[in-house]
Structure 1
């Protein structure tokens, strides 16, 4: 779908003899628009929402800026000077089809910039705050300590945050989210056994807790217990069969640590397809791992194997 926009400039603040060429800086415009997209993403609520809904909101924040950048980029190559002061008509053709190469190139460029420069993006994508039974406490005192812990976690004061979470679970031993956040703090402090213990306590309260199931696998990977990490991801798959993090995690374990690049590639392709389907910015991370696996298989003379696995997952190699 192509749309032609007609801009009729009735007046310009230029003298009749002016020869000035007003220029739009595409790089500056790109940064301004992606920074605005980051602010949009920061405002997205995540509490008690499913991940697909959150990623759809993130995609919308980026989509809103792609068209604006297309317009600015087109104008960057147009002479906007108006020395005669007469009306000046400019015709600009934009390809606003979201499946077009032009649109996708800009979208993915913005997405990559945000992944590298917008810290709130990863926080929003990684959030697993969907409420289940016993996720939150009904005890106000426990909630007060929990919220103080959240404040300290945001400041990266993980030791201080832990003290508040410990007080929260002492008051309410069935406070699953408090155990989850204890696990995060211990993991950031590289106390991986204590992190796993916290996640396991949360899972005893809520066996279907997505956050502890996913993060316990990460903790095992940090401990270099890669087979246990795979088993943890497989448990998560039983609850969320279409969670791309399952296939991404398993793919990483096999490709980077368990010396099985073919199984790693198959899982990473599945993760990639799900990320694309869900419009998740982590698509780029899966793509990087696939490229790394390609380099290894090419070195081993297995390019045909690489292409066959991609074809089996309906991915074109280029």
Structure 2
């Protein structure tokens, strides 16, 4: 019953999207690109509606996964429709009807499901602005994350409003006022650090993150963003240490391996360590159903290109095999 429901839904979407796309020979041709775009937009609307308050990243990733999952079976249907043309004149002709077999595999572990899911995910990551903002959430509210002081919260909220309009200087002033009222306001320091980084003032950004960590040593956002700030300062060893510190707290956090992998690949010209860490990140992203999987995938493809230039694909394949990752 579930499969039949998806087929009917898929047909309705096909009719809705392509009902007006008439070609010269009085035929309708299924447009896979437009179909993918329509389903990606549906998933994006679902992602945009996710409430991020007081949620950790894994929880958000799971909700994002659910939004994408809702479109997968319909997309599997669409993929199998890609080469089918519906001749309008057939309705007027007395022709023998031909059966069309469309198989939809709802098993998340199946090849068919994964191919459809990952293709949808790639398009969503590239084109849905909401997904970037949702998966950038790093912190769950702890004891000192927010303030119980109404005036500090008022300044903080004004800072958030200024940040949204990219008025980072004004935002910083509001965050400073917030911590002047409540010196233990960790999130105010976190957002202050982000604004300083946007203004390319990396020293002040690091200073803000460090103040936040004195209040909450386990704050994920400042731990992760200190590494990013050090990368901008080209202090790569410090950046790696920052990510390793984050890894000590969260050993299964894929951002640790992704950050270290990027540094080794893009900045330290160490393909082996870059690929090894990126493979770890890739597998953890899959495990956590994180859409950042596609970013790790892109870096692995870039590393592949470099190995190919060096005529050393045997080492590339060896590292992938060690992580049980198929080149496909």
Q: Give the shorter-chain TM-score range.
A: 0.7 to 0.9
Structure 1 segment 209-248 matched on structure 2, within 5 A: 209-248=219-258
Offset, 1:292: 2.1
Q: What is the aligned counterpart of 2:319 among 287, 295, 309?
A: 309
Q: Contact conserved, 1:4 with 1:93, CA < 8 A, in 2?
A: no
- Structure 1: how far apart are the matches of 2:316 and 2:29? 46
Q: Offset of 1:175 from its aligned partner?
A: 0.1
Question: Cα distance, 1:31 vs. partner?
Answer: 1.4
- Whole-angstrom CA distance in 2 between matches of 1:179 and 1:228: 21
The structure 1 residue matched to 2:295, chosen from 282, 285, 296, is 285
The aligned residue for residue 15 of structure 2 is none
SS in 1 for 2:102: strand
> Is 2:54 the partner of 1:48?
yes
Determine whether 1:93 maps to 2:102: yes
User: Which residue in 2 is equivalent to 1:15?
Assistant: none
| Partner of residue 13, structure 1 | none
TM-score relative to the length of structure 2: 0.85
Q: Which residue of 1 aligns with 2:38?
A: 32
Following superposition, the deviation at residue 89 of structure 1 comes to 9.4
Gaps of 5+ in 2: 12-24
Please say if 1:67 is aligned against 2:76.
no
- Alignment partner of 1:272 out of 282, 292, 315: 282
What is the RMSD of the two structures over their aligned residues, measured on CA atoms? 2.6
Is residue 192 from structure 1 mapped to residue 202 from structure 2 by the alignment? yes
- 5 Å-filtered alignment, 1:153-192, equals 153-192=163-202
Q: Is the 8 A contact 1:47 1:129 kept in 2?
A: no
Q: State the SS of the aligned residue for 2:103.
A: strand
Distance 1:218 1:228, change over 3 A: same
Kindly state the Cα deviation for residue 205 of structure 1 after the two structures are TM-superposed. 0.4
Work out whether residues 217 and 232 of structure 1, in 8 Å CA contact, stay in contact via their aligned partners in 2.
yes
TM-score scaled by structure 1? 0.88
Q: Deviations over 1:161-205 (max 9, x none)?
A: 111111111110100000000000010111100100000000010
1:83 paired residue number: 92
Separation in 1, partners of 2:79, 2:315: 41
1:99-114 to structure 2, matched below 5 A, reads 99-114=109-124
Secondary structure in 2 aligned to 1:79? strand
In 2, Cα distance between equivalents of 1:154 and 1:135: 20
Deviations 1:229-288 (A, max 9, x none): 000000000110000000001111112112322111111110011011111111111122
1:16 — aligned with what?
Answer: none
Question: Residue 117 of structure 1 corresponds to which residue in structure 2?
Answer: 127
Distance 2:312 2:27 in 1: 55
Aligned length: 307
> Which runs of 5 or more structure 1 residues have no equivalent in the other structure?
10-18
